[in-house]
């Protein structure tokens, strides 16, 4: 109830975009986690082809965030958000209707492009509309996103009892409803005509060395967040011997988010610089991978239900610490990004931030995957957990260093761009 009361403090447009994020994550996670199984089990595709289909979606989203950000600045965030949701409606519908490779590749490309459009555009709109309570708005954004990431897989697993096509059409229907709601509710905002070219905008943002350094430092946050879908579920399954144990991680995270996110953001907002709390959050995320490493270092599986529950505790403690770290850091990260440059380029800054940190995080995930394989072969199951702890610590130190140099903006003092 407190979350809903807090949400009502913001303009109707921001309220819609918060609910929109719940719908976006619900629709996404009710389909995408089960797509690979559909492609291999139902359509008989090889693992290599499945990798291509999934890779096209990821590449078209990560690589084109900059397009969505620039479009938000030049055309207005509202139209870009609506277009993104409409495109994802089409893309997810194609997953339901298509069974040949060309249609599936088109569905992946459209779904990825949709995310590249509305992800930076939504954050741009919130940053522009919630100027007085930007940190709280992004805290709420995190609450709704986390809740959707829990509801989506639960709904998807239920719909799969019917068939995959029903799941895909349901996901498409969610995005269609969101597109219509945004068209009806989001107000049209006048966009100042840009005096330069898109390439000039990109050069200006990419020439901001402090911003690029910050985006690279955030690679640790994105890499560790991704372990909620890779390393932590794998650790939960190995610790307990139960495949369903992975779901407990998301239950813990969602409940913690609903109960604590707003309280944490409000308490920290008035106590110290934002960069200090971002570094602290990254440090907590690094610490999160130490308790599960203790279980990973043990030999053999659980000996009965009691032993399985005891072995699950360190993994769940790690998941809770990881979620707490995200809750501490992420709202302030989103709040700081617009302060690196001109307000007219807020969308471009968000877009390039996600491209740079996304590429760096992809490299980080590759290292974690290598560490998982190497640890399994070399009887060193602790290795990927230690690797993640190092990533988090490096990111925390990077942010602390940038703060010490005075390179990071504050809500009251935008950064002076350091150009190359």
Flag whether pLDDT at 106 surpasses 90.
yes
pLDDT at residue 416 in the model: 46
Task: Read off the pLDDT band of 282 (50, 70, 90).
Answer: very high
pLDDT digits (tens, 9 = 90+) for 213-225: 999 999 899 889 8
Contact 331, 138 (CB under 8 A): yes
Range among 54-68, 193-207, 313-327 rated most confident: 313-327
Q: In a 10 Å sphere around its CB, with 0-12 CB exposed, 13-18 middle and 19+ buried, how is residue 390 labelled?
A: middle
Each residue's pLDDT tens digit, 229-263: 778 888 888 888 877 787 888 889 989 998 999 99
Q: Does residue 300 surpass a pLDDT of 70?
A: no
CA distance 32 to 171: 10
If you average pLDDT over residues 340-345, what whole number do you get? 91
Lookup: tokens for 65: 């965030």
In this prediction, residue 38 carries a pLDDT of: 83
Helix (H, G, I), strand (E, B) or coil at 43: coil
* DSSP per-residue letters across 349-379: HHHHHHHHHHHHHHHHHHHHHHHHHHHHHTT
**Nearest C-alpha neighbor of 179 from the set 121, 139, 104:** 121
- Mean pLDDT, the chain, rounded, equals 87
**DSSP H helices in 288-345:** 290-297, 304-336
pLDDT at 48 (0 to 100)? 74
How much is the pLDDT for 161?
85
Q: What is the mean pLDDT of residues 172-180?
A: 96
Q: What's this model's pTM, rounded to 2 decimal places?
A: 0.88
pLDDT for res 138:
93
Reported as a pLDDT band with limits 50, 70 and 90, residue 418 is very low
Q: Sign of torsion, CA 81 69 6 153?
A: positive
At residue 411, the pLDDT reads: 63
pLDDT given at position 419: 42
Confidence of residue 304 (pLDDT cuts 50, 70, 90): confident
> Can you tell me the distance from the alpha carbon of 58 to that of 52, in angstroms, rounded to the nearest whole number?
10
User: In 3D, which of 360, 39, 98, 87 has the Cα closest to residue 223?
Assistant: 360
């Amino acid at each position: 109830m407190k979350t809903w009361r807090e949400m009502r403090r913001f303009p109707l447009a921001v309220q819609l975009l918060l609910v929109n994020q719940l719908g976006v994550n619900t629709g996404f996670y009710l389909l995408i986690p089960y797509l690979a199984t559909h492609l291999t089990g139902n359509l008989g595709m090889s693992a290599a082809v499945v990798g291509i289909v999934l890779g096209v979606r990821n590449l078209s989203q990560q690589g084109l965030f900059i397009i969505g950000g620039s479009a938000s600045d030049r055309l207005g965030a509202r139209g870009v958000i609506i277009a993104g949701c409409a495109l994802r409606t089409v893309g997810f519908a194609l997953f339901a209707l298509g069974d040949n490779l060309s249609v599936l590749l088109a569905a992946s490309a459209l779904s990825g492009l949709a995310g590249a459009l509305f992800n930076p555009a939504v954050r741009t709109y919130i940053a522009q509309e919630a100027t007085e309570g930007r940190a709280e708005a992004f805290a709420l954004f995190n609450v709704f996103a986390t809740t959707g990431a829990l509801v989506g897989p639960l709904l998807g697993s239920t719909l799969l009892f019917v068939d995959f096509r029903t799941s895909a059409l349901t996901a498409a229907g969610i995005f269609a409803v969101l597109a219509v709601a945004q068209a009806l509710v989001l107000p049209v905002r006048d966009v100042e005509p840009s005096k330069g070219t898109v390439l000039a905008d990109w050069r200006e943002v990419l020439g901001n060395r402090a911003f690029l350094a910050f985006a690279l430092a955030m690679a640790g946050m994105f890499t560790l967040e991704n372990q909620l879908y890779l390393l932590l579920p794998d650790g939960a399954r190995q610790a307990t011997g139960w495949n369903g144990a992975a779901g407990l991680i998301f239950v813990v995270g969602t409940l913690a988010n609903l109960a604590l996110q707003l309280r944490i953001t409000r308490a920290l907002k008035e106590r110290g610089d934002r960069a200090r709390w971002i570094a602290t959050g990254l440090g907590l995320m690094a610490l999160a991978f130490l308790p599960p490493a203790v279980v990973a270092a043990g030999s053999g599986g659980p000996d009965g239900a009691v032993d399985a529950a005891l072995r699950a505790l360190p993994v769940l403690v790690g998941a809770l610490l990881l979620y707490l770290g995200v809750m501490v850091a992420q709202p302030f990260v989103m709040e700081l990004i617009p302060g690196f440059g001109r307000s007219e380029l807020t969308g471009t800054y968000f877009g390039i931030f996600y491209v740079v940190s996304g590429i760096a995080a992809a490299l980080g995930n590759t290292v974690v995957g290598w560490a998982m394989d190497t640890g399994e072969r070399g009887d060193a199951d602790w290795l990927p957990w230690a690797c993640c702890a190092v990533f988090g610590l490096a990111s925390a130190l990077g942010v602390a260093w940038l703060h010490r140099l005075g390179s990071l903006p504050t809500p009251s003092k935008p950064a002076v761009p350091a150009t190359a």
